[in-house]
Amino acid sequence: MKVKTASFEEIATPESATVSGAEAIIKCLLKEGVDTIYGYPGGAIMPVYDELYKYQDKIHHVLTRHEQGAAHAAQGYARVTGKVGVAVATSGPGATNLITGIADAHIDSTPVVFITGQVGSTLLGSDAFQEIDVVGISTPITKWNYQVTDASEIPEVLAKAFYIARSGRPGPVLIDITKDAQFAPLEFSYKKCSGIRSYKPVPEINLLQVERAAEAINNAKKPMIVFGQGVILGKAEELLKKLVEKTGIPAAWTILGLSALPTGHPLNVGMVGMHGNYAPNMLTNECDVLIAIGMRFDDRVTGNLETYAKQAKVIHFEIDPAEINKNVTADIPVLGNVNQTLNLVMELLQPNDHSEWHQKFKELYAIEYDKLIQHHLTSKNPELTMGEVIDEINTCSDGNAIIVSDVGQHQMVACRYAKFKTSRSNVTSGGLGTMGFALPAAIGAKMGKPDRDVVAIIGDGGFQMNIQELGTIFQTKVPVKIVVLNNSFLGMVRQWQQMFFERRYASTEMINPDFIAIAKGYHIQSRHVAKRSQLKDAVKEMMEAEGSYFLEVSVEQEENVFPMIPTGASVSEIRLE
């Protein structure tokens, strides 16, 4: 007898009917509330596409122009909605084209279910046409993966896939389904998965640690909060705000924590990390209690670990036990969903005011403002700065847009200067730093939040990494706004060459095509600006446009992003120039 290793809700709709494996897949997606999926067809997934044709009034399948585009679009959708994204591809090259997106979703804890077709089960292991061991390839970059060769397994396996992707610390799941299993008949009934015996999505809360954390916070003289995406994934934004307001503790965000607290909140002291703000980086090495909430002490955040917050007592609120003491030793680890642990700790916290300590952040901000920010935002140079463009978008959207950024200098500038009012408004590739992420992710973001303005901020290099997705925008008419900040360089790499390789600009100069002509080819409204006097009007025109819009801005070619913590340096060695 087969042991039961997972449990399923008993709300099985007894619509038991014989369907094909392919149809069962679609029915599973519908049961999970999926209405939009991204993908690309091919031989081994054709039975599924045939069913998608029949179910096209129920599920919107978006044909991207490359499977990587499908993966990132599904990520963008998941990041803004909090729902599980879905991407579909054929076997072989279709599956391998997904890999970058799977890896990106894995490292940024994004819930996405990937479905790949596979050659018939009798051909497995024979090096058949377009056979690739995608389960093997994706093992280290998935939260779970599984190959289905027997159609009758489909409902249970997909139920588990969705449960695993969304529960606990979310992540990508890949289900590979052989072609014969897509054709074979099964009796369909669906029960949502509610538990897997070997998997504990949320660790038990240790109340003693909650008490210890509260005591440390209450006694702190110079406490500082650093929060990450865990706050967003745990839907704890309101709790964080309450906690910050009750205790008066200055709070900084990591790149993936952006937008979990409004930018304009008086206690929001900006971004930590390599290109973060001066104050929170400097004061990390001065605070007496460091309260880390839903973040994982990535090396881009900590700089040199040997000199990171050594003076501070570290409290780590975290859902994933493997993150505790991984990079930074926690004096007080508080395991659990931050939604629950912050709630518990809140009860024990005394109202406080740390205005004198907060004043230090303001003083350091003033230094950063004088030395950098004012020059970035109100430059006297003839060339436009990236910061000015982001600031103009802030003004024009009143801080209400979803900002999807690619990877490079423009990303850092976008994350430093974009203003957010609501959570889940920042979509960027954090852990993997995937160039080519933004254009497809913006498509998914706009489809996930059609009522919000979605603005993609992309470099001239990254734009050309998934530029083909302009075709998806054209075909689906999804009204995303695309801003390319063109410096004719792979800017971030060029900056490193300038700083650390004596200006040897090896393969970072870009001779670019006529981007406006390309946008025209896709019938996307477009405009190019190079002058300050044109910027305001162009951004306004873009934001007011009904449909999609492409704005190319020529910016200063050799602008550098500062502040910067050079690799290997301490957070308090952050450089302003």
Ligand X SMILES: Cc1ncc(C[n+]2csc(CCOP(=O)(O)OP(=O)(O)O)c2C)c(N)n1
517 binds, among ligand X, another protein, none (CB under 5 to 8 A by kind): none
Residue appearing with tokens 């004088």: 370
Mask: binding to another protein, 138-167, rule CB under 8 A, as x and -?
Answer: -xx--xxxxx----------------x---
Active site residue 536: no
Number of H helices, E strands in the chain: 23, 22
Q: Is 236 left (phi over 0), alpha (psi -120 to 50) or beta?
A: alpha
| Residues recorded for the chain | 577
CB-wise, 161 or 404, nearer to another protein? 161
Q: Does 418 bind ligand X (CB under 6 A)?
A: no
- Among positions 470-509, residues that touch ligand X (CB under 6 A) are 485, 487, 489-493
3-state secondary structure of 293: strand
Question: Among 462, 473, 483, 563, which residue sits at the site for ligand X (rule: CB under 6 A)?
Answer: 462
Question: Among 116, 209, 285, 409, which residue sits at the site for ligand X (rule: CB under 6 A)?
Answer: 409
SS (H, E, C) 297-344: CCHHHHECHHHCCCCCEEEEEECCHHHCCCCCCCCEEEECCHHHHHHH
CB-wise, 292 or 555, nearer to ligand X? 555
Q: Which is the catalytic residue, given 130, 468, 525, 534?
A: 130
**Phi then psi for 427, rounded to 5 degrees?**
-120, 115
Active site residue 160: no
Mask: binding to another protein, 299-338, rule CB under 8 A, as x and -?
Answer: ---------------------xxx-xxx------------
Residue appearing with tokens 């894995």: 106
**Phi then psi for 407, rounded to 5 degrees?**
-125, 130
Q: Does 460 bind ligand X (CB under 6 A)?
A: yes
Active site residue 475: no
Q: Which is the catalytic residue, given 9, 129, 499, 509?
A: 129
* Cβ-closest position to ligand X: 459
Residue 354 CA to residue 359 CA, distance in Å, equals: 8
Q: Contact at 8 Å (CB) between 247 and 349?
A: yes
Active site residue 179: yes
CB-wise, 118 or 428, nearer to ligand X? 428
**457: β partners:** 405, 483
Residue 327 CA to residue 28 CA, distance in Å, equals: 39
Size of site (CB under 6 A) for ligand X: 20
**ω before 566 within 30° of 0 (cis)?**
no
Least gap, CB of 379 to another protein (angstroms) = 44
Q: Which stretch binds ligand X (CB under 6 A): 32-40, 280-288, 454-462, 474-482?
A: 454-462
Cα 459 to its chain centre, rounded Å, is 18
Q: Does 157 bind ligand X (CB under 6 A)?
A: no
Residue 492 CA to residue 459 CA, distance in Å, equals: 10
Q: Contact at 8 Å (CB) between 227 and 261?
A: yes
Least gap, CB of 410 to ligand X (angstroms) = 4
569 binds, among another protein, ligand X, none (CB under 5 to 8 A by kind): none
Contact residues: another protein, CB under 8 A: 3-5, 7, 10, 135-136, 139-140, 143-147, 164, 194-199, 320-322, 324-326
Q: Which residues bind ligand X (CB under 6 A)?
A: 406-410, 433-436, 459-462, 485, 487, 489-493
Residues acting as catalytic residues: 67, 129-130, 179, 492
